[in-house]
Structure 1
């Protein structure tokens, strides 16, 4: 006779604190088995041929799942870690056990929603308990329906700050039922068909996965260093551990919940101080929520080239030379190249870098924004569908941006945020000897000066900034008029 069990299915929620599905399952009094699946589709290829989960995020994820397994074991719950397709794994589990109940957090990406549909088809006799928990504000607590969601972030922010409410986090549950024993281990890198990444010595922060590391970083940034008090002034920094919270990777895979961050932020303000910077961390959590709600509203449209605006765009030109130059950090624009090399070498890039790299990709190189978004998806440790694609839609001008044409002047941005070229020289050692006067625009050097400063191997600019952006702008405006 099959053992009667409940399953808690973990996905982008690899934690035991503030986890409603786990809490509810433990409250039921039934034997609980936790399940995490390295679904082969999430470790396959993107539509443009990149690895869907790059090695840095895979490393961070493996560490996070390993700690989740250890934490659940302390509660008396086994975490069964499997590899394959989710429907195949659940089908095998249903043959071995009588799965009476399935508990999980809903996700909002089209692929994730399709996966849920397939699991339900496999577990037709199972009672499904699904919950919302990826956002700070619960979707059911919004003062409007999703189809009434404001088209700009500012309108959303003003509405939610006036009428919204934030639910308290769930406590870590106590588990008293019989343990369901099913041994497993986290897949190796070879199992995932990749090699373990080697962190570049120039990385200024080493991200380690797991709920404990997330809580430690949160406590450090708020209570130990109190760097939160300068967050608004430093958040656009490029070098260093503490110019920003660095919480995004743990938020992305759910080692840390936004409600836990908010709860600790409010505690800090109560015990110490509140200012513009403490508000700004909450402000960034709101941006994360907003993109998630936009994804929930627009679904497949969120990932289409025409975006939310359904503009009749001219067919994008695929230029492999430009694409590879951007990926490898060989465009001839030091600010772009430094950021792209950091991304490829560490799996991380600052928010300021992401905005500039994306703007350059679309507005100067004239490439399909979805290709750039997929490269970020592959590389970023803190990738999540809503924030990544939402930001690319925004930069490409087919998302939630009130401006008809948004463009980042790369050289101006570099001079503003890296005035002495410290960041660029850090990631572009071939420019180390350049004086500040030339580091932002090395193309101004004569041939003899390039030889004198040892920059003969650094490429000339791949495009003209002014001409390329004007060409793109003219094309973009025609598309908007045709609409």
Structure 2
């Protein structure tokens, strides 16, 4: 009897632990070909993410080699390259982790059609979320539009078992693994390093602070959040495994993992989330000001807490979650600018930038998304005084204000004129027709 072979196409699941497609293939087939296709369609969208991706691929290859296999790397159209390799090795079919973006769904449809044409099976697996998008549905609807009822259903739902990494991966003879791409230079000098073991170590180091998460996750200067989001975005860590290590279904940190799942199920039902208002009837009377958008992007708006957040993102490819809310709220609710360019700026710089969570959170802040209070506005000064009370976060990322003591750092325009002139820091951007009382 001839050996049975399957191809496992990796996408945003760059790990060996708790990888349902890989584990199932290794259990059911004699030979398994782990494949990653470098897709030129996705290239150069974010130098930061490209570097993180290539670091993660190098570590994934080493993990597979330790198990007797390898990561086969190809370049080109992922559907064409997957079919070509499957036919080359005599595979019966292809395994793939299901994803929700418009691009991923189109890739899945094309791959299914080609597998049917070549008499190969295609099986989709969970793994990118804890609860599969679409598995939880409200009565009379195709997805949850409000987080609280989704969270209740999510916390009560049964979960799949966490899977161990396969002990052995056996490649067919004669398969050329291909070369990994040269490691590119990212734009952010302080960006985190990609890879499953790096993510696992970060999780292990951070878990002792879990009991204090509710107290520390909004402390901007303290910087004690997990910073696991890039590893979840690329699937270097299994979200199910992270939730299991963090206590299962309860607690404020696990609630954040539920928010991640929530936006995945929203995106599965509304794939235009990056470009179109989710909320029916949303008011979108945005103004357009290229200079104001550039100042916001570069962290020179004259609003210290906003500039600090944007500069952190450019320096580290990551931004504190509270700063994300403040910077997005400032762009949309204070400057009155369209949220879509903001989505694009975050996509360029953030290591964890993905369609579902980046766009979903932007729409929430802009009042066009999943928020029952779409007209809420975050006062940036009050936010700064509450979550950066001593100004440590601002002084770290806006060194022009390092000499300003205490809360005064959040409103430098109120300092005496001679002091303000010495700071070399701009006044807040002027917004036509606006009367921001909090600046007076």
Matched with 1:429 is 399
For 1:94-119, what per-residue CA distance to the aligned partner results, in whole angstroms no more than 9, with x for missing partners? Answer: 56343321001011000111122223
Unaligned runs of 5+ in 1: 45-51, 201-205, 270-277, 471-483
Q: Is 2:247 aligned against 1:266? A: yes
1: distance between equivalents of 2:226 and 2:63? Answer: 24
Note the C-alpha offset of 1:144. Answer: 4.4
* Other structure's SS at 2:270 match: helix
Asked whether the equivalents of residues 72 and 178 of structure 2 are also in contact (C-alpha less than 8 Å), the reply is: yes
Q: Is 2:310 aligned against 1:337? A: no
Matched with 1:274 is none
Report 1:123-134 matches (<5 A).
123=115, 124-125=117-118, 126-134=120-128
* Other structure's SS at 2:301 match: coil
Note the C-alpha offset of 1:364. Answer: 1.4
Q: Which segment is superposed worse, 303-312 or 331-340?
A: 303-312
Matched with 2:385 is 415
TM-score normalised by the chain length of structure 1: 0.83
2: distance between equivalents of 1:17 and 1:354? Answer: 31
* Other structure's SS at 1:293 match: helix
2: distance between equivalents of 1:332 and 1:398? Answer: 27
Report 1:192-231 matches (<5 A).
195-197=185-187, 199-200=189-190, 207-222=192-207, 226-231=208-213
Report 1:384-403 matches (<5 A).
384-403=354-373
* Other structure's SS at 2:271 match: helix
Q: Which segment is superposed worse, 359-368 or 7-16?
A: 359-368
The two structures, once aligned, show a CA RMSD in angstroms of 2.6
1: distance between equivalents of 2:281 and 2:94? Answer: 38
Q: Is 2:256 aligned against 1:252? A: no
- Of 154, 157, 162 in structure 1, the residue corresponding to residue 151 of structure 2 is 157
Note the C-alpha offset of 1:139. Answer: 4.2
Q: Is 2:102 aligned against 1:110? A: yes
For 1:6-29, what per-residue CA distance to the aligned partner results, in whole angstroms no more than 9, with x for missing partners? Answer: 210001100111111101111222
Matched with 2:82 is 90
Matched with 2:63 is 71
Asked whether the equivalents of residues 274 and 355 of structure 2 are also in contact (C-alpha less than 8 Å), the reply is: no
Asked whether the equivalents of residues 59 and 197 of structure 1 are also in contact (C-alpha less than 8 Å), the reply is: no
* Other structure's SS at 2:324 match: helix
Matched with 2:9 is 9
1: distance between equivalents of 2:80 and 2:359? Answer: 29
1: distance between equivalents of 2:154 and 2:330? Answer: 33
* Other structure's SS at 1:99 match: coil
Change (3 A) 1:305 1:364: farther
Matched with 1:233 is 215
TM-score normalised by the chain length of structure 2: 0.91
Q: Is 2:335 aligned against 1:365? A: yes
Report 1:302-321 matches (<5 A).
302-311=273-282, 313-314=284-285, 316-321=286-291
Note the C-alpha offset of 1:197. Answer: 4.0
2: distance between equivalents of 1:69 and 1:258? Answer: 21
Asked whether the equivalents of residues 14 and 235 of structure 2 are also in contact (C-alpha less than 8 Å), the reply is: yes
Report 1:167-178 matches (<5 A).
167-175=160-168, 177-178=170-171
Change (3 A) 1:413 1:304: same
Change (3 A) 1:317 1:139: closer
Note the C-alpha offset of 1:428. Answer: 1.0
Note the C-alpha offset of 1:351. Answer: 0.6
1: distance between equivalents of 2:309 and 2:284? Answer: 28
2: distance between equivalents of 1:145 and 1:111? Answer: 29
2: distance between equivalents of 1:143 and 1:363? Answer: 32
* Other structure's SS at 2:160 match: coil
